[in-house]
């Protein structure tokens, strides 16, 4: 029996909607990462981009458990000596709440060439408004 790989024309991309209000960050991020990788599809292959689009709203109201709101920090480096930048969870939530979910999902995706392509299908918004209302038609 031959194994069939999906071609670009055979891929159907669906839109998934998540409301992050009072959702736990890690549990929400794992669900989003599975959808972005396409693991919920029967024609899943790890080397091909078959990702669906994911829209996340209310990113500013996402919840974390335990003392993470006080202790969690986000680090990045400028590339220069002594260029380590550290931002706390509270400061990141005030300044850029959409980056919290994006960084959590990014850490759960495989570190390969597809990661940046998969993250393009993730659309995160701090409030409840988003420009993709026509993709979620009311039947």
Task: For the chain, give every domain's residue range.
Answer: 14-65+94-128
Q: Read off the tokens for 107.
A: 């850490």
d(CA 29, CA 35): 10
d(CA 130, CA 126): 9
Beta strand 53-57 pairing with 15-19? parallel
List the pLDDT tens digit at each of the 139 positions of the chain: 787 777 778 788 899 999 999 999 999 999 999 999 999 988 888 888 888 999 999 999 999 999 999 999 999 999 999 999 999 999 999 999 999 999 999 999 999 999 999 999 999 999 988 888 877 765 4
SS3 23: coil
pLDDT at 137: 66
pLDDT at 67: 96
pLDDT at 139: 41
Beta strand 122-124 pairing with 53-57? parallel
**Predicted TM-score (pTM) of this structure:** 0.89
Domain 14-65+94-128 in this protein, CATH class: alpha beta
């Amino acid at each position: 029996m031959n194994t069939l790989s999906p071609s670009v024309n055979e891929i159907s991309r669906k839109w998934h909607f998540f409301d992050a209000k009072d959702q736990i960050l890690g549990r929400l991020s794992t669900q989003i990462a599975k959808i972005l990788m396409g693991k919920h599809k029967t024609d899943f292959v790890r080397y091909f981009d078959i990702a669906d689009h994911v829209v996340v709203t209310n990113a500013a109201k996402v919840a974390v458990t335990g003392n993470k709101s006080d202790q969690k920090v986000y680090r990045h480096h400028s590339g220069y000596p002594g260029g380590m930048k550290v931002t706390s969870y509270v400061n990141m939530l005030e300044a850029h709440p959409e980056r919290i979910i994006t960084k959590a999902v990014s850490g759960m995706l495989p570190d390969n060439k597809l990661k940046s392509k998969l993250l393009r299908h993730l659309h995160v918004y701090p409030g409840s408004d988003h420009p993709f209302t026509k993709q979620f038609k009311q039947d």
